[in-house]
Amino acid sequence: MATMNLRSEDQLNKYDNKHIMSLSSSVSKIRKFEVPCIVSSFHMSLDKSGRLWVSDNEGFIIQTDLQGNRLKKIPAGVGYPGFHTVSEEEDLIFTVKDKTVINKVTVDDTISQFFIKTGDWKPVSIYSSHINGDLLVGMLKDRETKITRYSKTGKEIQNIKKDKDGQNMYSEPHYITENINGDICVSDYDKKAVVVVNKSGQHRFSYRGQKARIWPAGICTDVLSHILVCDSMSNTVHLLSQDGQFLSLLLTPQQAITNPRSVCVDDENNFYVGQWNTNTVTVFKYLQ
């Protein structure tokens, strides 16, 4: 486990204990709550203190507790889908649509509007690594796309653009996350695929769905290295192994979730689903 460079004893215990977890035979709803001041749950970021940041694309990022009580409201302008993340220090880091900067709000509410300047590239998705604090950013420029890795202080240290055949790796990387083995997992709207590369930027696999093509949106990973990705087209969440093998659909019509747009997993191994057309967040248990 030392190679993972996890920075807290709680995290180390969580990953050391992963072998005792397994998939439940069924998915059960635990609770649901409404997030004030938004019209849909476009994207969610959960911090290690159990507070949830939720945004739509209409101008604000809202922090709530897990009962839906508003704690903070950050004006962020109109954003892209996966445009915020929470660092290990519990700072909120976010982008603004059509702006070439990444902003930061520290836990004491100090705002840094130009934390990282991205030149000609427009950041559209962002994720703070739980392994080393790096920032992974999906970027667009004209017809070009890339994933850029920044250090937690904002130094550019890696760019991922092409596969081994020289083809563009990405087209619209609107949601991004990282697995515990360092793989970078991206929901690509235009490719209609989950594109996964290793930490060196080498393509591992692309997942395009089962009987029908997936329309990938929010994406996250869990303690067992599963990949959870929303499929807005079929109103479900796909569960994949770390190697891209389809394992199950976590939502069925009985759960009555339509247009799932965002997903995240908490330290108790519950997953949260936000929807396009409502400010309700629903919490499910799927591991035991």
The β-bridge relationship of strands 135-141 and 193-197 is: unpaired
Q: What is the distance, to the nearest Å, from the Cα of residue 162 to the centroid of all Cα atoms in its chain?
A: 22
**Residue range 156-170: mean pLDDT, rounded:** 95
Q: How many domains does the chain have?
A: 1
Residue 184 pLDDT exceeds 90:
yes
Instruction: Write out pLDDT tens, residues 217-276.
Output: 999 999 999 999 999 889 999 999 999 999 999 998 888 899 999 999 998 889 999 999
Identify whether the C-beta of residue 200 lies closer than 8 Å to the C-beta of residue 223.
no
| Alpha helices, H only, the chain | 9-16
Domain span at 30? 2-287
Report the predicted TM-score, pTM, of the whole model to 2 decimal places. Answer: 0.90
Residue recorded with tokens 């749950």: 41
Q: 13: pLDDT confidence band, cut at 50, 70 and 90?
A: very low
Q: What is the pLDDT of residue 98?
A: 82
Residue 6, pLDDT score: 37
What six digits make up the tokens of 77?
């302008």
Residue type, 100: T
Residues pairing with 101 in the sheet: 117
pLDDT over 70 at 141, yes or no: yes
pLDDT (average), residues 173-200: 96
Task: Please report the pLDDT score of residue 4 as a whole number.
Answer: 33
Distance of CA 203 to the CA centre of its chain: 19
> What's 261's domain CATH number?
2.120.10.30
pLDDT of res. 93: 95
Confidence label for 14 from pLDDT (cuts 50, 70 and 90): very low
CA distance 258 to 233: 9
CB 189 within 8 A of CB 216: yes
φ, ψ of residue 241 in degrees (nearest 5): -75, 170
Q: Give the pLDDT score at 80.
A: 66
Q: Which residue has the higher pLDDT, 84 or 48?
A: 84
**Which pLDDT score, from 0 to 100, does residue 25 have?**
62
In eight-state DSSP terms, residue 253 is G
pLDDT at residue 177 is higher than 80 = yes
Q: What percent of the chain has pLDDT over 70?
A: 90
| Burial classification of residue 3, based on how many CB atoms lie within 10 Å of its CB (0-12 exposed, 13-18 middle, 19 or more buried) | exposed
